[in-house]
Amino acid sequence: MAVDASRSITKQSKDFSQWYLDVIAAADLAEHSDVKGSMIIKPYGYAIWERMQRILDDRIKATGHQNAYFPLLIPESYLKKEKEHVKGFSPELAVVTHAGGEKLDEPLVVRPTSETIINEAFSRWIQSWRDLPMLINQWANVVRWELRPRLFLRTTEFLWQEGHTAHATEQEAEEEARRMLGEYRTFVEKTLAIPVVAGEKTEMERFAGAARTYTIEALMPDGKALQMGTSHNLGQNFAKVFGVKYLDKNNEEQFVWQTSWGVSTRMMGGLIMAHGDDGGLILPPAVAPVQVVVVTIGTNSAEKKKVTSTIAELCGELGKLGVRFTVDDRENETLGAKIYTWEKKGVPIRIEIGPKDVAVKKAQVKRRDAGVKEQLPLAGLGKKVEALLADVQVSLFEKAKARLEGKSVFAKTMDAFEAAIEEGKFAYVPWAGSTVDELRIKEKTKATVRCLPFEHGYSGGACIATGKKTNTIAVFGRSY
């Protein structure tokens, strides 16, 4: 759009927050709306989200879940049934008090999440052990009133999927919660090319109403942690208040064991920050709406004519290989302007073809993630591009992984811990503290426990907060 195209991007090193907003504007991903905290997701941003959705949805179905759709508006009384849940969500609710020209007898909340209304349904749907496990997923919009909005990262309305499952045993629910966290981890690492630390949340950061919350946490280049997805073992908390019961094989009534899990458009924020540079967005090929742009050199029709058949041939080859490509042969734009258009949008590979290239049967190929422009033979270029795309996908992950590892330290003392946090690192520490200890550290350093990681290379030691000997390791960081 005309308005954004002229806008330049602030350097990352100068002001990371402004860089983030500039990239969103330059790549035409999203913008704020007049309703505080609400966001318009523009076509290019939405196309990336659709790619994410499609890939995740396939995995959610492949692991046995079925999609369904539950109402947006939830009776306020539902939310009040689970006391931790209502306590957690009350400050964030948007409430419908009037509808159809009249005041409602009971206010309706716009769903902040759907545990309550889904459990009301489960209490009717689940009768026997034969109905279990019940494995449901929903793609939906949710609203949580946001006082400090930030595009994609914190918005009043956001898009997400929320899985909701019911099981016969505690163990099955626990396995499900961990399985879906594993799916998220695989998706974020393989598809978004963002390495994460997977682990359990402490009580302080647990989902309102959950027995255990698992999380995957990424570290952004500015040294802040970003929670990319969570999966909850809900125990029997919701089952008990909504009466979700089944007759077991001995004909005895039992409450079900449950999970819920979700990822949202917040992942878009992680994607932008994890890979982008001063030139704008850099997209992993797996989620790039356009993986390859073919840019013509030469702005007049005569020059264009010389390259037409070569480009048609190349496009045929790319199409057959299933590569998502576009051709930029705009005559009213300079080569520089054409290049800038696609660079800021993060298209993984750019191919430039002009009359001189055609004459020597070559094309110039540039990876968005690496600096060098290569001249490559046109013969077999499609296959070569396919291999390059695979390499870009891996390279982006490796680069982000190296950064994560370089910014992960083990801190034995409070001093070392504070220094690590100041440097924008993930600090692994021996931990035997309570919520009070966490709050004290948060107050002093703005860092919180991101998770108790499932895997780490460290043995225990003396807890940095309490001095108690412990084998538990916690990862601290400052978060968005």
Asked if residue 65 lies in contact with residue 137, where contact means CB atoms within 8 angstroms, the answer is yes
Check binding of 292 to a second copy (CB under 8 A): no
Neighbours of 460 (CB within 10 A): 14
Measured from the CB atom, the residue of 95 and 337 that comes closer to a second copy is 95
Measured from the CB atom, the residue of 76 and 222 that comes closer to a second copy is 76
Measured from the CB atom, the residue of 145 and 340 that comes closer to a second copy is 145
Residue from 21, 63, 80, 96 in contact with a second copy (CB under 8 A): 96
Check binding of 93 to a second copy (CB under 8 A): yes
Check binding of 331 to a second copy (CB under 8 A): no
Give the integer Cα–Cα distance in Å for 16 and 20: 6
Residue 445: exposure state from Cβ atoms within 10 A (0-12, 13-18, ≥19): middle
What is the per-residue binding string for a second copy in 159-198, x denoting contact by CB under 8 A?
A: x---------------------------------------
Q: Are strands 292-296 and 349-353 parallel, antiparallel or unpaired?
A: parallel
Residue from 82, 115, 120, 183 in contact with a second copy (CB under 8 A): 120
324 three-state secondary structure = coil
Residue from 99, 321, 387, 402 in contact with a second copy (CB under 8 A): 99
Measured from the CB atom, the residue of 120 and 189 that comes closer to a second copy is 120
Measured from the CB atom, the residue of 123 and 259 that comes closer to a second copy is 123
Residue from 21, 55, 73, 168 in contact with a second copy (CB under 8 A): 73
Check binding of 358 to a second copy (CB under 8 A): no
CB of 78 to a second copy, least distance (A): 8
Could you tell me which of 207, 385, 364 has the C-alpha nearest to residue 288? 385
Which residue type is seen at 72? L
Check binding of 418 to a second copy (CB under 8 A): no
> 299-306 long-range CB contacts below 8 Å, 24 or more apart?
299/331, 299/333, 299/334, 299/335, 300/331, 301/331, 303/354, 303/355, 304/329, 304/331, 306/355, 306/358
442 three-state secondary structure = helix
Check binding of 125 to a second copy (CB under 8 A): yes
Give the integer Cα–Cα distance in Å for 274 and 260: 27
Check binding of 121 to a second copy (CB under 8 A): yes
Tokens of 2: 């005309």
Check binding of 445 to a second copy (CB under 8 A): no
Check binding of 376 to a second copy (CB under 8 A): no
Measured from the CB atom, the residue of 164 and 201 that comes closer to a second copy is 164
Check binding of 337 to a second copy (CB under 8 A): no
Check binding of 128 to a second copy (CB under 8 A): yes
Check binding of 23 to a second copy (CB under 8 A): no
What is the per-residue binding string for a second copy in 28-67, x denoting contact by CB under 8 A?
A: ---x-xxx--xxxxxx--xx-xx---------------xx
Beta strands in 113-190 (DSSP E): 134-143, 157-167
Give the integer Cα–Cα distance in Å for 178 and 63: 13
Residue from 58, 84, 87, 147 in contact with a second copy (CB under 8 A): 147
Tokens of 390: 């695979």
Q: Give, rounded to a whole angstrom, the gap between the first and last alpha carbons of the chain.
A: 29
What is the per-residue binding string for a second copy in 220-259, x denoting contact by CB under 8 A?
A: ----------------------------------------
Tokens of 374: 């290569």
Could you tell me which of 317, 327, 291, 326 has the C-alpha nearest to residue 380? 317
Neighbours of 128 (CB within 10 A): 11
CB of 328 to a second copy, least distance (A): 15
Check binding of 340 to a second copy (CB under 8 A): no
Check binding of 74 to a second copy (CB under 8 A): yes
Asked if residue 161 lies in contact with residue 114, where contact means CB atoms within 8 angstroms, the answer is no
Neighbours of 129 (CB within 10 A): 16
What is the per-residue binding string for a second copy in 252-281, x denoting contact by CB under 8 A?
A: ------------------------------
Residues that bind a second copy (CB under 8 A): 1-3, 31, 33-35, 38-43, 46-47, 49-50, 66-75, 78, 90-101, 107-108, 110, 117, 120-121, 124-125, 127-128, 130-131, 136, 140-141, 143, 145, 147, 156-157, 159
